[in-house]
Structure 1
Amino acid sequence: MFYPKTPFYGKGLQLETEILKVNSGELKKILPWLCKAPRTTTYRINTLRTSVADYKVKLEAKLIALYGPKAPRVYGLKDLPEMLCISPLDTTENKYDDCRKELIVDTSCGAAVLRGAHIYAPGVLAMESGTQLQELVNVFADLPGKCKRGTATRYDCDEKIFIGVGQVLMQRHQLYNKEQPVSGIAVRMLTNLTGVPTLGDLSDADALLQNLPSMVCVRVLDPQPGERVLDMCAAPGNKTTHIAELMGNRGTIIAMDNSASRVRSMTGKLVNYSCIEAHLFDATKAWDGSTDRDSTAPPFASSSFDRILLDAPCSGLGNRPQLCCNIKQSKVLQSYPHIQRNLLSQAVPLLRPGGTLVYSTCTVTEAECEEIVSWALRKYPQLQLVDAMPKLGSPGLPLPDLDAAQCDLLQRFGPSHDNRLQNLDTVGFFIAKLQRASA
């Protein structure tokens, strides 16, 4: 009823070794890790609006109101002074009770629940007849994806996994009314299997729920007040606003994305930062090599930026937990390095001599991480690897043309015994910091 054994809950993630580009020993270590949720919750505090100390008091008060004397600990890290961490709860109380009715959610919703989310109406696949408001239910995730939406009887499936206990806030007639579809929280989670506090998302103007490696990524970029910075693939804008906060909202940040809907969705986040300019534009065409004129809109001339963040489109295989059995096809996985090389080919000439380029992905494949860095160093001799500080992850994986010293400059967040912070459980992520030689 709980997390199944590794071969089972990793079903659908049994990737070919040549796709992940890791050796079989590394593969055996990565798969079970990917299928489990990170247990540490992290918030980034907007220090332009409030202090970390003040927000910590507010957060602790919310946790005490929810959990009383068993409230989880809130703490910070000196390398990320704008971040607060919430420790996991004791998982011994997350017990399955066969007397309760069952509720089934899809794998996307199930993954969010294991990260501390409540259940919104669209995620509820099945609810047993007679389930009442405020009733406690056992919540299961449907791994094979065979549960029909609106099912009213107990879902008989050996491949569903118990993920926690919730309290019903919406009944069947509300959830499955096609004429009047509802939104909002359908089930308030009380406990989940991982012990991650079930807070939902407390994000507001003062703080943002964000993965730790994403915060490290912007700290590695180290943007300074007054600089000109390009965020090449900016949506949803979380790293963009972090850049602005570290710059004290002084300078210019160009936030670029090729999706109109994604640009619209991040506009609300960016509106309070006068230094950010959002542009709907394809970053693979960001460089205009035919001109030396300064431009306020893309495409841009050579040497236009002091720092560039390329948080590249990727396979996303570092997003934990990976519960879905329908893993991306081999051809789709293999298409990402081509896109990443195209984006780097635009970023390098846009960087001023002496400027900094940070390349990052939220995946674990060598082909999208270390191999891209190796390719960039071969193609662009004006680039050199520099230490990606602060160093909270592990070194990169070795390649024939990346020596141990170079690997140690990289950061890889994964199930490595070399991880600098063993008590922090994060998503999979990769960071490389490159510097263009001075003229």
Structure 2
Amino acid sequence: MFYPKTPFLSNSLLEAEILKVNSAAVSQLLEWLCRTPRVTTYRVNRLRTNVETHKAQLEEHLARRYPCGQQAPRIYGLADLPEVLCIAPLEAELALSVPDPTLKEVIVDTSCGAALLRGAHIYAPGVLAMESNTQLQECVNVYADLAGKCKRGMTTRYENSEKVYVGVGKVLMQRYQLYNDKDEAPTGIAVEMQSNVSGVPSLGDLSSADALLQNLPSIVCVRVLDPQPGERILDMCAAPGNKTTHIAELMGDQGCVVALDNSASRVRGMLGKLGNNYRSIQAHVFDSTKAVAASSDSSCPSAPPFPCASFDRILLDAPCSGLGNRPQLLCNIKQAKILKSYPNIQRRLLAQAVQLLRPGGILVYSTCTVTEAECESIVAWALRKYPELRLLDATPRYGGPGLPLPDLETAQSKLLQRFGPGNDLDTVGFFIAKFQKD
């Protein structure tokens, strides 16, 4: 299993923030954040295909990827999530953990390195450096540059004690294709990973209209929302739209899913992905902190801002510090004020959500982080601020309970769902709370 020795582990700012989570478990949590989640999950679009058909397609792909008697990764489902297919990690003997000293080297940045450990290949823009005379189809050792000092396009071997080995790849593009003076940057896969040290199968992204590569907690999050056909549902921070499409699929594409995001480019990307496949989804470029209309008009317009009590269910997958995204090869957060800014925006969004939710409606709040300030503390604040809110059990449950707080009863903490160290399924860090408005 991969345990990188990185500057992330000694980042005093991040450690101070995580100490608020649980001082007794800070070391365990930091190590966990640096490891790679072992399970790869795909969400099958059951409006287009069925799970068994897609499973057969995946098995056929894996048979081609691991021929000649190699043991292919196991594919399995989850009882409470019938749209999910999981790909198990490779057996230990199939994952190389020691670099071959006879191979040339390719260097990538930490963001790309983390993706490789999750099973990705290296696209052309991700190649920081490749040694001279590296040939097509040649196998190379791939390293992530933790120090951030590798100069793009360097021709000699990058010598630095803070580069970390992530696996072996096969070269599909040579240096002259990667580092040229043409206006158009090269695209496509430059290095196809053959294996990595995490044991996660190097398959690239097999997403299609039939199935989407998606983290398990994100899938669970929409199941906790439990959208029903014919309902009017708001996804407040929707881009890139993965949870939005899941909502529409669980509704049988019957009803209305309003997707808001304040980034025009992200909404354009989401619309391109949606195509004409979902008639129930309406996407808008809009700031959800201003989603409540000033007028008390009871009509329900098709575009934001909206009158109070306009929605049956609301998903607030809030902007956050993203510290649950694993593996964390390097912490890039420099200033404490950046971490402290997230709870403010999260509270502003929740305030809008409470007003937009009809009585009896369901609100799900989620983040992909692990800090108490952005998770349990936000829940405690919402319950104090809005007595009309009460917690419901965030089921189906694949994570653990929330952390105990002085202003959260033990029974309330148990209704929350936190994905962290010790869960049965090894996932990214994530948090889910489910409210009902009386």
Per the shorter chain, which TM-score range?
A: over 0.9
Tell me the equivalent position of 1:100.
103
Code of the aligned partner of 1:268: G
Q: Percent identity?
A: 69
For residue 392 of structure 2, the aligned residue among 375, 386, 390 is 386
Query: How much has 1:327 moved relative to structure 2?
Result: 2.7
Tell me the equivalent position of 1:273.
278
Tell me: CA distance 1:38–1:176, structure 2 relative to 1, closer, same or farther (3 Å).
Answer: same
CA distances 1:4-62 after superposition (whole Å, capped 9, x unpaired)? 44x65624476242466223222211111111111110000000000001110111110
Cα distance between partner residues in 2 of 1:185 and 1:247: 36
Unaligned runs of 5+ in 1: none
Contact (CA 8 Å) 1:96, 1:162: kept in 2 or not? Answer: yes
Contact (CA 8 Å) 1:174, 1:181: kept in 2 or not? Answer: no
Tell me: CA distance 1:4–1:428, structure 2 relative to 1, closer, same or farther (3 Å).
Answer: closer
The question of 1:83 aligning with 2:88 is answered no
Contact (CA 8 Å) 2:121, 2:202: kept in 1 or not? Answer: yes
Code of the aligned partner of 1:280: V
TM-score of the two chains, using structure 2 as the length reference: 0.96
Query: How much has 1:270 moved relative to structure 2?
Result: 2.4
SS at match of 1:310: strand
The question of 1:171 aligning with 2:170 is answered no
Query: How much has 1:144 moved relative to structure 2?
Result: 1.0
Contact (CA 8 Å) 2:293, 2:305: kept in 1 or not? Answer: yes
Alignment of 1:126-141 (within 5 A): 126-141=129-144
The answer to which of 87-96 and 331-340 deviates more is 87-96
SS at match of 1:384: strand
The answer to which of 25-34 and 228-237 deviates more is 25-34
Code of the aligned partner of 2:285: L
Alignment of 1:48-67 (within 5 A): 48-67=47-66
For residue 339 of structure 2, the aligned residue among 313, 333, 337 is 333
Tell me the equivalent position of 1:262.
266
The answer to which of 106-115 and 21-30 deviates more is 21-30
Tell me the equivalent position of 2:113.
110
Cα distance between partner residues in 1 of 2:75 and 2:369: 28
Code of the aligned partner of 2:32: W
Contact (CA 8 Å) 2:17, 2:371: kept in 1 or not? Answer: no
CA distances 1:352-399 after superposition (whole Å, capped 9, x unpaired)? 100000000000000000000000000000000000010110000000
Contact (CA 8 Å) 1:22, 1:365: kept in 2 or not? Answer: yes
Cα distance between partner residues in 2 of 1:3 and 1:335: 30
For residue 287 of structure 1, the aligned residue among 272, 277, 292 is 292
Contact (CA 8 Å) 2:137, 2:172: kept in 1 or not? Answer: yes
SS at match of 1:10: helix
TM-score of the two chains, using structure 1 as the length reference: 0.95
Contact (CA 8 Å) 1:289, 1:302: kept in 2 or not? Answer: no
Contact (CA 8 Å) 2:3, 2:34: kept in 1 or not? Answer: no
Cα distance between partner residues in 2 of 1:185 and 1:299: 42
Tell me the equivalent position of 1:299.
305
The answer to which of 31-40 and 370-379 deviates more is 31-40
Contact (CA 8 Å) 1:359, 1:432: kept in 2 or not? Answer: yes
Cα distance between partner residues in 1 of 2:258 and 2:12: 37
Contact (CA 8 Å) 2:18, 2:370: kept in 1 or not? Answer: no
For residue 381 of structure 2, the aligned residue among 375, 383, 391 is 375
For residue 201 of structure 2, the aligned residue among 190, 197, 200 is 197
Code of the aligned partner of 1:282: D
SS at match of 1:85: strand
Code of the aligned partner of 1:23: N
Q: What's the RMSD between the two structures over aligned residues?
A: 1.4
Contact (CA 8 Å) 1:19, 1:333: kept in 2 or not? Answer: no
Code of the aligned partner of 1:254: V
Cα distance between partner residues in 1 of 2:231 and 2:45: 20
Tell me the equivalent position of 1:213.
217
Tell me the equivalent position of 1:160.
163
Code of the aligned partner of 1:322: Q
SS at match of 2:395: coil
Code of the aligned partner of 1:246: L
Contact (CA 8 Å) 2:238, 2:261: kept in 1 or not? Answer: yes
Unaligned runs of 5+ in 2: none
Code of the aligned partner of 1:338: N
SS at match of 2:14: coil
Cα distance between partner residues in 1 of 2:40 and 2:18: 30
Tell me the equivalent position of 2:418.
412
The runs of 4+ residues in structure 1 deviating greater than 3 Å are 2-5, 11-14
Cα distance between partner residues in 1 of 2:351 and 2:18: 23
Contact (CA 8 Å) 1:91, 1:194: kept in 2 or not? Answer: no
Tell me the equivalent position of 2:315.
309
Query: How much has 1:425 moved relative to structure 2?
Result: 1.0
Contact (CA 8 Å) 1:19, 1:330: kept in 2 or not? Answer: no
Tell me the equivalent position of 1:430.
431
Q: What is the number of residues matched between the two proteins? A: 430
Cα distance between partner residues in 1 of 2:45 and 2:12: 37
